[in-house]
Structure 1
Amino acid sequence: MAQISDDCFAFGGQMRPIDETAALIASKLSAVEEVETVPLLLADGRVLAKKMVASLPLPPFTNSAVDGYAVRGADLPQTVETAFAVAGRVQAGMAANEPVRPGQTVRIFTGAPMPDGVDTVFMQEDVSIDGSGRILLPPGLKKGANVRPAGEDVALGEAVLPAGHRMRPQDIALAAALGFTELQVRRRIRVAVFSTGDEIVAPGDMRGPAQLFDSNRFMLTAMLARLCCDITDLGILVDDSRLIAEKLSEAALSHDLILTSGGVSTGEADCVKAAVESAGTLVFWRVAIKPGRPVAMGVIDGTPLIGLPGNPVASFVTFAHIARPAILALAGALQPPPTPIAMRAAFSYSKKQGRREYVRASVRAAADGCYEATKFPREGAGLLSSLVATDGLVELGEEIVRVEPGHTVQFLPYSSLM
């Protein structure tokens, strides 16, 4: 397991800005050292353990970019349409064995290798045929047109992906085109997850009249799965600080991260904060973010713990902005922050200065063709429907106190946060 010291974060109890908090967490967490080899088809979402270097150029040979007729650049018609005899035919996957002589053309198809001597291709729709079967090529085409040179896409020996890159489907395609069948990646991050609270029960269990079905654990597990984590579901723990402390200590023995939901606010029944202080060290528990101010960060026997709020929307937002960067740091992933999209606000909103707020919003096309963000009509960090019915979050920085229709705001699609 990745081990950190209990005092490595070394900051006090003041409410911290979200960017500073996320950056500090990421800087203090070291990537797991274990590396494993996985088949290419199972590499999506995994983090490269070493850079990927091209062992061949792409394309590996010069080929035609279109269906048409290939000629020598020296023979290109300059002012008038010129007739050429067809010397052969080259299809994709076939070798071009015969060189093309002056005054000749060859029928060629997309992806077929260029025969020796030719360097330009006329698109088939731009040519015609005369009465004797010769091809009439028009003037005006530049030498090298419609040809893909060897190495045009990727050069031999080029580092195409760095170590720490998190693989995507397009990266899988590139690796396959270079001939890779397997990749060396960091092992999966092992995360223990549990919810806390007497007020929740698991779906399928008997629910009391004052209880709710647990949704956070399922949401967080799904978000962790998208980050390719190995997940241990520890279920629901009742509001008992001693019991929670015991479970935290047990989980710390075999996991890289402990993730909890609920019990981190200031109520008498919020037991996670007390349990962390009993089993390890509590390094912070308030972040200047809405929704989601009560967020706990602790260290249990060298294993980091992140305690997320119990309200579902707050849990979602804080996972995206605090837990996700921590997980990527543990995985050794390069992690540029999500890039917001500037768009026009179609709502009014007031907020406190000095706090980052995330407003649930949908995107629509206005009458003038511009895209604008519309705010979900109701407030509340417990409204799961607000996450389902919207497209993302409008990010309002600490310095903003008021938004009016027509203002430019920064929009983060949900897809960029998972």
Structure 2
Amino acid sequence: MKPLLALEDAQERLLALVKPGEVETVPVADALNRYLASPLPALRTQPAYPLSAMDGWAVRQADMPGPWKVIGESAAGHPAHVAVEASEAARISTGAILPQGSDMVVVQEDCTVDGTTLSFHGEPPSPLGRHVRQRGLDFEEGAEVLHAGAKVTPAALALAISSGYAKLPVFRKPKIVVIDSGDELVAAGDPLVDGQIPASNGPMLCALLSVMPCDVTLAGPVPDDLETIVATLESARDADLIVTSGGASVGDHDLMRPALEKVGAALDFWSVAMKPGKPIMVGQRGDQTIIGLPGNPVSSFVTAHLFALPFVRALLGASRALPTYSIARVLSDLPSTGKRAEFLRATQKHDGVEPVSVQDSGALLPLARADALIFRAPFSKAACAGTEIQFIRIG
């Protein structure tokens, strides 16, 4: 029997198949949650001038502690047209440009004004220029503000705009087809007969993938019929990625592998040393990748997080495609593991991570209540409650 492929090796081989699509330039607002195709150097300096961080008066440090003569005002968007000289002050608001000659701000709570005379009564700020945002405090023109592969989050979107960009270079959205297969599957809401179940994997996978900027189509449910599966695969030739659920094992009705061979897909690997999700398969048809996930819902869900989602992130140009592992204390005892990596459904608590009581790969109720996957490496020793473990957030 061929040895199972280690999880890390399987993920590395999968990501080696990635060929990012064409680069397109889109308006900044349309780039949300996409990944940059090239680094972004700032087109301007922020702030472009020294700004006040507080409401108060702009003065010279050399003139502390006053008094001063008030000679004008600088407001946000309306800079003062006077220069501050010895023993002079200008009223200033938060975000306003410091008038020429001033280099500090005294806050209004520490001052009183009598006519045009400003007096200071508080403790001097330390350092004296504390309430001034110096030119270039955020970034300088030409500095790289976002790297290639960075996700355009709401904060990154704001940074890009502030840096001078109205459009951003990103990779085009990949086209994905999800195929749900199995004789027992019936579309949601359709009547069931004995032995049938609602087809939930396909919609679940579409929902997982649709969180990312991609075009996802569901095909199926498709029966366990070789010619029907082949025809469905053929109809999806223009997709960048096909994700299948079911038929990836070795039973008489597991037809995904022979169907892939029949449409000319070369199998890159099949069967990974992980639990749940051992019968995962990955094939290639030209520039198209096909990821065959197991039919058990938990297995399909877990392998999607470890293979399908990372592959799509990589297609989109993400600098980090694989899931991030966090550390927490486990709140229940864990048994030892065998030769396969294990992923246990769990819930995050304020003091650690608690495995759900039912770990069966067909159980959807505990999966829906879980928001974490505890990772257990192959041949791990039993761990008692309180031991630090690694986990992936899934909620």
Query: Which TM-score bucket, shorter chain as reference?
Result: over 0.9
What corresponds to 1:358 in structure 2? 343
Equivalent pair of 2:32/2:153 in contact (CA under 8 Å): yes
d(CA) in 2 for partners of 1:46 and 1:181? 15
Tell me, yes or no, if structure 1 residue 383 matches structure 2 residue 363.
yes
User: Aligned-pair distance for 1:398?
Assistant: 2.3
**Aligned residue runs from structure 1 range 275-354, under 5 A:** 275-279=259-263, 280-335=265-320, 337-354=322-339
Q: 1:223-281 deviations in whole A, cap 9, x for unaligned? A: 211121112222211101232123223322x1111110111112211111221233222
**Aligned residue runs from structure 1 range 93-172, under 5 A:** 93-129=77-113, 133-138=117-122, 140-141=124-125, 142-172=127-157
Q: 1:149-174 deviations in whole A, cap 9, x for unaligned? A: 12110110112112222211111111
With over 3 angstroms needed to count, the CA separation of the structure-2 counterparts of 1:319 and 1:265, relative to structure 1, is same
d(CA) in 1 for partners of 2:76 and 2:116? 27
d(CA) in 2 for partners of 1:397 and 1:119? 58
What corresponds to 1:398 in structure 2? 378
User: Aligned-pair distance for 1:336?
Assistant: 5.2
From 22, 30, 37, the equivalent of 2:25 is 37
Q: Which consecutive unaligned segments of at least 5 residues does structure 2 have?
A: none
User: Aligned-pair distance for 1:131?
Assistant: 9.2
From 57, 60, 64, the equivalent of 2:48 is 60
What corresponds to 1:75 in structure 2? 63
Equivalent pair of 2:17/2:289 in contact (CA under 8 Å): no
What corresponds to 1:6 in structure 2? none
User: Aligned-pair distance for 1:340?
Assistant: 2.3
From 34, 37, 40, the equivalent of 1:49 is 37
With over 3 angstroms needed to count, the CA separation of the structure-2 counterparts of 1:269 and 1:401, relative to structure 1, is farther
Tell me, yes or no, if structure 1 residue 269 matches structure 2 residue 250.
no
Equivalent pair of 2:306/2:322 in contact (CA under 8 Å): no
Supply the AA of the counterpart residue of 1:233: L
What corresponds to 2:75 in structure 1? 91
What corresponds to 1:9 in structure 2? none
User: Aligned-pair distance for 1:302?
Assistant: 4.2
Supply the AA of the counterpart residue of 1:248: L
User: Aligned-pair distance for 1:45?
Assistant: 1.6
Q: 1:129-161 deviations in whole A, cap 9, x for unaligned? A: 569853225454323211111211011011211
d(CA) in 2 for partners of 1:263 and 1:351? 30
Q: 1:59-110 deviations in whole A, cap 9, x for unaligned? A: 2221101112221121223xxxx42222222211112210111112222111
d(CA) in 2 for partners of 1:380 and 1:414? 18
With over 3 angstroms needed to count, the CA separation of the structure-2 counterparts of 1:301 and 1:241, relative to structure 1, is farther
Equivalent pair of 1:65/1:111 in contact (CA under 8 Å): yes
With over 3 angstroms needed to count, the CA separation of the structure-2 counterparts of 1:116 and 1:241, relative to structure 1, is same
Q: Which moved more, 1:259-268 or 1:295-304?
A: 295-304
| Secondary structure of 1:88 counterpart | strand
Equivalent pair of 1:58/1:178 in contact (CA under 8 Å): yes
User: Aligned-pair distance for 1:190?
Assistant: 1.0
d(CA) in 1 for partners of 2:357 and 2:118? 70
User: Aligned-pair distance for 1:117?
Assistant: 0.7
d(CA) in 2 for partners of 1:203 and 1:224? 19
Aligned length, in residue pairs: 393
With over 3 angstroms needed to count, the CA separation of the structure-2 counterparts of 1:132 and 1:197, relative to structure 1, is closer
d(CA) in 2 for partners of 1:333 and 1:361? 27
User: Aligned-pair distance for 1:293?
Assistant: 1.0
Equivalent pair of 1:13/1:286 in contact (CA under 8 Å): no
User: Aligned-pair distance for 1:218?
Assistant: 0.9
d(CA) in 1 for partners of 2:379 and 2:76? 59
Q: Percent identity?
A: 35
Tell me, yes or no, if structure 1 residue 223 matches structure 2 residue 203.
no
Equivalent pair of 1:92/1:111 in contact (CA under 8 Å): yes
| Secondary structure of 2:349 counterpart | strand
Tell me, yes or no, if structure 1 residue 20 matches structure 2 residue 9.
yes
d(CA) in 1 for partners of 2:336 and 2:174? 37
| Secondary structure of 2:62 counterpart | helix
What corresponds to 1:187 in structure 2? 172
d(CA) in 2 for partners of 1:341 and 1:304? 29
Supply the AA of the counterpart residue of 1:116: Q
User: Aligned-pair distance for 1:187?
Assistant: 0.7
With over 3 angstroms needed to count, the CA separation of the structure-2 counterparts of 1:302 and 1:157, relative to structure 1, is closer
What corresponds to 2:391 in structure 1? 411
| Secondary structure of 1:110 counterpart | coil
Q: TM-score, normalised by structure 1?
A: 0.89
With over 3 angstroms needed to count, the CA separation of the structure-2 counterparts of 1:300 and 1:70, relative to structure 1, is same
Tell me, yes or no, if structure 1 residue 213 matches structure 2 residue 198.
yes
Q: TM-score, normalised by structure 2?
A: 0.93
d(CA) in 1 for partners of 2:244 and 2:336? 28
With over 3 angstroms needed to count, the CA separation of the structure-2 counterparts of 1:140 and 1:168, relative to structure 1, is same
With over 3 angstroms needed to count, the CA separation of the structure-2 counterparts of 1:271 and 1:121, relative to structure 1, is same
d(CA) in 1 for partners of 2:134 and 2:115? 34
